[in-house]
Amino acid sequence: MIEAKWKTVLRYMVLIGFLVIILLPFYWMFITSFKPDFDLGAYPPSLFPHHWTFKHYVDAFTQYNFGMYIRNSVIVSIVSTFFVLMFASMAGFSVAQLPVRGKTPLLVALLVISMFPSIAIMSPLYMLLRHLHWLNSYQALIIPYTAFNLPFAIWILRNYFLQLPKALLEAGRVDGASIFQTFYRIYLPLTTPGMFTAAVFTFVASWTEFFMALTFNQSNTMRTIPVGIALFSGQYTIPYGTIFAGSIVSILPIIVLTIIFRKWIVSGLTTGAVKG
Partner 1 sequence: MAVTNNTVIRQITSTRRSLSAPERRAGYGMLIPGLLVIAAVTIFPIIYSVWMSLNNISLTTNGYLMSFAGVHNYNLVMHSAKFWHSVWFTFYFAVVTVFVELFLGMLIALAINGVERLKNISIVVMLIPWSLITVISAQMWQYIYNGVYGVLNYIFISLHLIGSPVTWLGSATSAVIAMMVADIWKTTPFVVIIILSGLQMVPKELYESVHLDGANAWHTFWNITFPMVRGSIALAGLFRILQAFGMFDLPYVLTQGGPGTATQSLAVLGAQVMFQNLDFGPGSAVAVSTVILVLTLSLIFLSAFRNLVREGEEQ
Beta carbon nearer to partner 1, 32 or 61: 32
Of the candidate spans 49-57, 59-67, 138-146, 185-193, the one that interacts with partner 1 by CB under 8 A turns out to be: 138-146
- What is the length of the chain? 276
CB of 28 to partner 1, least distance (A): 6
Does 171 participate in binding partner 1 (rule CB under 8 A)? Answer: no
Residues 3-62 that bind partner 1 (CB under 8 A): 10-12, 14-16, 18-19, 21-23, 25-26, 28-29, 32, 40-45, 47
Residues 231-260 that bind partner 1 (CB under 8 A): 238, 240, 243-244, 247, 250-251, 254-255, 257-259
Exactly one of 144, 156, 199, 245 binds partner 1 (CB under 8 A); which one? 144
Cα 22 from Cα 245, distance rounded (Å): 19
Q: Quick one: which of 155, 110, 138 has its CA closest to 270?
A: 155
Written as one string, the DSSP assignment of 37-93 is HHHHT-SSPPSS-SS---HHHHHHHHTS-HHHHHHHHHHHHHHHHHHHHHHHHHHHH
Cα 162 from Cα 84, distance rounded (Å): 19
Exactly one of 53, 71, 210, 220 binds partner 1 (CB under 8 A); which one? 210
Of the candidate spans 49-57, 61-69, 189-197, 219-227, the one that interacts with partner 1 by CB under 8 A turns out to be: 219-227
CB of 159 to partner 1, least distance (A): 15
Does 105 participate in binding partner 1 (rule CB under 8 A)? Answer: no
Q: List Cα–Cα distances, 71 to 149, 225, 253, in angstroms.
A: 21, 9, 13
Q: Which residues contact 83 (CB under 8 A, 6 or more apart)?
A: 142, 146
Exactly one of 52, 62, 112, 165 binds partner 1 (CB under 8 A); which one? 112
Does 142 participate in binding partner 1 (rule CB under 8 A)? Answer: no
Beta carbon nearer to partner 1, 58 or 230: 230
Q: What is the dihedral of CA 243, 250, 88, 151, to 10 degrees?
A: 30
